Amino acid sequence: MTPQKLHVARMGHPVLAQKAEPVNLSDLDKAREIIADMHFTLESIGERIGLAAPQVHIPLRIVIFSIPKTAPNLRYDFDREEVPFTVMINPEITFLTDKQVLGWEGCISVPGMLGEVPRCESIRYTFYDQMGVQHERVAHGFHARVVQHECDHLDGILFPMRMTDMSRFGFEEEMIEFVKNKTIEV
């Protein structure tokens, strides 16, 4: 089937505020169709890291993401580990430390905005891929941040809800120079 570009829900839509349902691992055909549509949608938007199913009006526990080595744009212009394209079904996160680090985040569902968000520095996460195979990874820094951001979408949480200093929330166009100087601290 030809993948479809899906409509993205923005902050305020109830689908982003609800807890998503686990995927039934004994029948992944429908999930694979959804994943193909999500991948097509993410590629169509371009220069973005990840997408969770609730962001395209599908309240299921599915996330896709990849972290390229080179920065697609200023938002992610700092050193980070490369992570290949990853499909996560029913992901689970375990925090490996109490240490939280601040970093800038944006979101396709909060367009044009950036905010500085505290996240756990090191995590272990497990997930199933689209073939139903279970995986386990340990992640630090930006990689850990991306996984936490995307998995939050499955629990109805958007990045501004994680912020502790709302003076660090604003329009990307207004903050771009400020953010460029500050990402080095992450």
Catalytic, 150? Answer: yes
**The one catalytic residue among 47, 92, 150, 177:** 150
Letters for 71-110 (x = contact with Ni ion by CB under 5 A, - = none) are: ------------------------------------x---
Beta strands in 19-177 (DSSP E): 50-52, 62-67, 83-95, 100-105, 113-120, 122-128, 134-140, 169-171
CA distance 50 to 105: 12
CA distance 146 to 78: 14
Q: Which of residues 144-163 bind Ni ion (CB under 5 A)?
A: none
Q: Which is nearer to Ni ion, 28 or 148 (CB)?
A: 148
In this structure, the number of other CB atoms found within 10 A of the CB of residue 17 comes to 15
Q: Which is nearer to Ni ion, 31 or 107 (CB)?
A: 107
Buried b (16+ CB within 10 A) or exposed e, 76-94: bebebeebeebbbbbbebe
Shortest Å, Cβ 78 to Ni ion: 18
Shortest Å, Cβ 77 to Ni ion: 18
Return the sign of the alpha-carbon dihedral for residues 41, 19, 160, 118.
negative
Q: Which residue's Cβ has the minimum distance to Ni ion?
A: 107
Residues in contact with Ni ion, counted by CB under 5 A, come to a total of: 1
CA distance 86 to 69: 15
Shortest Å, Cβ 52 to Ni ion: 7
Shortest Å, Cβ 26 to Ni ion: 29
Q: Which is nearer to Ni ion, 28 or 105 (CB)?
A: 105
Q: Which is nearer to Ni ion, 12 or 132 (CB)?
A: 12
Element (H, E) at 151: helix 141-153
Q: Which stretches of the chain bind Ni ion, using CB under 5 A?
A: 107
Active site residue ranges: 150
